[in-house]
Each structure stands twice: as structure tokens, then as C-alpha cells.
Amino acid sequence: MFAYIKAFIAGFVSTLVFHQGLLWGLDRADLLDASVWNMAPVPPFGVPAVVSLAFWGALWGMLLWLLIRRALAAGYYVGAFILGAIGPTIVYLFLVQWLKGQPFPEILDGLTLPRVGIGLALNGFWGVGVAILMRVMHPPR
């Protein structure tokens, strides 16, 4: 149980450091125009957007840990990247946008290769961050 608390913390911190850090780098390189570490309040509680994102990253971190915790050697990090890239990206592109009122045809129209690629890279980098932080906080026995 304590490992999942660590995974929650790892997911939260990885969002702030790895996900947002890569987003900052892409923004600084003029590859996209991004609101990094966005402090704008979001409903329903009015918390800063980056804190909301980090909370969801923390929950995803617990799921990711469940899936990668027994992987060995490079498979641990490769699995973290692949699962981190695919799971949150698909859920964001299809479910989150739909729940926020985006009509499904518009969601499909927005599926451009650069947009999907950036989502996969950001979330994959986040997944590797979770894996690294979990190795530090919860080393294998």
C-alpha cells in the first residue's frame, strides 16, 4: 500500500518536472506555443490548472506503477514510456475532450500527427519520470 502512495507522489512530481519540463523545452524551442506551469484556475474547485494536471498525473502514476512494477531492466523504462505515452494520451484525446463538451467529429478533426506526437512524447516522458522516481523512492528488492 505504501508503494502506491509513493507512486501517487511520483506521478504528481513527474507531471511538474518531466511533463511540464519537456513542454517548457518545446515552447522555448518554438516548436509549439504552450502555457507551461499554467496557474489559471480550473473548475470545479478553482485550483491552478497545473495542480489539477499533476493530481491526475498522480492517479495515472498509481496505475502505471501497477503495470510496470515487476518489469526488469530496460523493459521497466521502455514499458513506462510506452504505457505512459499511450494511456493518458488516448484518454485525453477521446474521453476528456468529449467530457469537456467537444463534439466527437471535432475531436477527430483535431487528430493531427504533430498534436498526437506531442501528446505521446509529453506523456511518455512523464511515464519515464514516474519510473525513475519510483526506482529512487522504492528500489527493487
Kindly report, residue by residue over 47-63, the tens digit of the pLDDT.
999 999 999 999 999 99
Compute the average pLDDT of residues 25-43: 93
Average pLDDT, the chain: 93
Domain hosting residue 116, numbered range: 2-137
In sequence order, the β-bridge partners of residue 48 are 41
The residues pairing with 41 across neighbouring beta strands, listed in sequence order, are 48
pLDDT at 100 over 90: no
Percent of the chain surpassing pLDDT 90: 75
Residue of 74 and 104 predicted with greater confidence: 74
| pLDDT at position 141 over 90 | no
**The three grid cell numbers given for residue 52, joined into one nine-digit string:** 489539477
Tally of domains in the chain: 1
DSSP assignment string, 95-129: IIHHHTT--HHHHHHT--HHHHHHHHHHHHHHHHH
Mean per-residue pLDDT for 98-114? 80
Residue 125: closest CA among 15, 10, 5: 15
What pTM was estimated for this model as a whole? 0.91
Q: Taking residues 7-28, report their average pLDDT.
A: 97
